[in-house]
């Protein structure tokens, strides 16, 4: 056998590091773009009038929001970021958090049922062939029991739609998935709803987030090596 793995490892790790940096830039830019668009939206319209319209819709307002949020979870290519950021403006931070989590639980439960009844073929149709490998990876690492599922809910909330399909391919009970998804999702969802509500109405808060994202990217670039090793160790420990 060939005992010279070092050059191969060096070549293999470089693209991964570049991809991680590029992904961080894209994620940071997307995050700031959503906040900026939401801030511009509040400047362009009468937000109080919009709240009155939503309140006047009665139960139909929350019902429609929960339905849209559920759809973005079941159909993974759809993004729920913009509407989740806006939920605090439309309903208030606490109700917006509740409706967002409820939509995620409903959509995620549908995903679990679909995967459990119809298997990988329908999952591939809904999430795409490239995303199916992520579902398989989550199935291997994060859906052994409620503890690993809770860790995924808290730390990997941005890809929890894929994890929901992975749960459907596993053996975790529906009741366990629902309880973990709801209670585990309250804190991260509250944070994002609060960020959206505050940044959309306060230019100073928006500027703070610009500074935080820029600092995070700078820190990652400077300490990319040690951080990559730390992240790898954390992934292996989960």
Q: For each of the chain's 238 residues, which pLDDT tens digit applies? A: 444 444 434 444 344 444 456 666 776 777 677 677 766 666 566 667 667 777 777 888 889 889 888 888 877 555 556 677 778 888 888 999 999 999 999 999 999 999 888 888 888 777 766 667 777 777 766 677 788 888 888 877 777 888 888 888 888 899 999 999 999 999 988 988 888 788 777 777 777 777 877 777 777 777 766 666 665 665 555 4
- Annotate 108-139 with DSSP letters as a single string: HHHHHHHHHHH-HHHHHHHH-HHHHHHHHHHH
Query: In sequence order, which residues have a C-beta less than 8 Å from that of residue 185 and are 6 or more positions away?
Result: 101, 104, 105, 153, 157, 160
Where exactly are the structural domains of the chain? Answer: 22-237
Contacts of 20 (CB under 8 A, 6+ apart): 224, 228
* Separation of alpha carbons 102 and 82, rounded Å: 17
**Residue with structure tokens 């579902």?**
135
pLDDT at 142: 64
Q: How far apart are the first and last CA of the chain?
A: 32
**Chain centroid to CA 6: how far?**
36
> 24-44 burial, b for 16+ CB within 10 Å, e for fewer?
beeebeebbebbeebbeebee
Report pLDDT for 39: 65
Among all chains, which residue has been given the structure tokens 């990217």? 217
68-91 in b/e form (b: 16+ CB < 10 A) is ebbebbbebeeebbbbbbbbbbbb
Q: What is the per-residue pLDDT for 97?
A: 93
């Amino acid at each position: 056998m060939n005992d010279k793995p070092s050059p191969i490892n060096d070549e293999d790790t470089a693209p991964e590091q570049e991809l991680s940096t590029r992904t961080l830039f894209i994620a940071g830019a997307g995050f700031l773009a959503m906040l900026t668009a939401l801030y511009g939206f509040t400047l362009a319209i009468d937000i109080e009038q919009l709240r009155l319209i939503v309140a006047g819709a009665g139960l139909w307002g929350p019902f429609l929001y929960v339905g849209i949020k559920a759809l973005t979870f079941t159909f993974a290519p759809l993004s729920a970021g913009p509407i989740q950021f806006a939920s605090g403006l439309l309903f208030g931070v606490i109700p917006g958090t509740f409706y967002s989590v409820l939509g995620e639980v409903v959509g995620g439960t549908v995903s679990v049922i679909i995967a459990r009844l119809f298997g990988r073929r329908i999952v591939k149709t809904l999430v795409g062939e490239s995303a199916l490998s992520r579902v398989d990876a989550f199935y291997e690492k994060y859906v052994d029991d409620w503890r690993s599922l809770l860790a995924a809910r808290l730390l990997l909330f941005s890809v929890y739609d894929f994890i929901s399909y992975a749960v459907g391919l596993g053996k975790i009970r529906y009741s366990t998935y629902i309880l973990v998804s709801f209670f585990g999702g309250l804190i991260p969802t509250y944070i994002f709803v609060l960020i959206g509500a505050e940044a959309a109405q306060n230019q100073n808060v928006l500027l703070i987030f610009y500074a935080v994202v820029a600092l995070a990217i700078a820190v990652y670039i400077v300490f990319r090596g040690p951080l990559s090793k730390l992240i790898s160790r954390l992934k292996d420990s989960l």
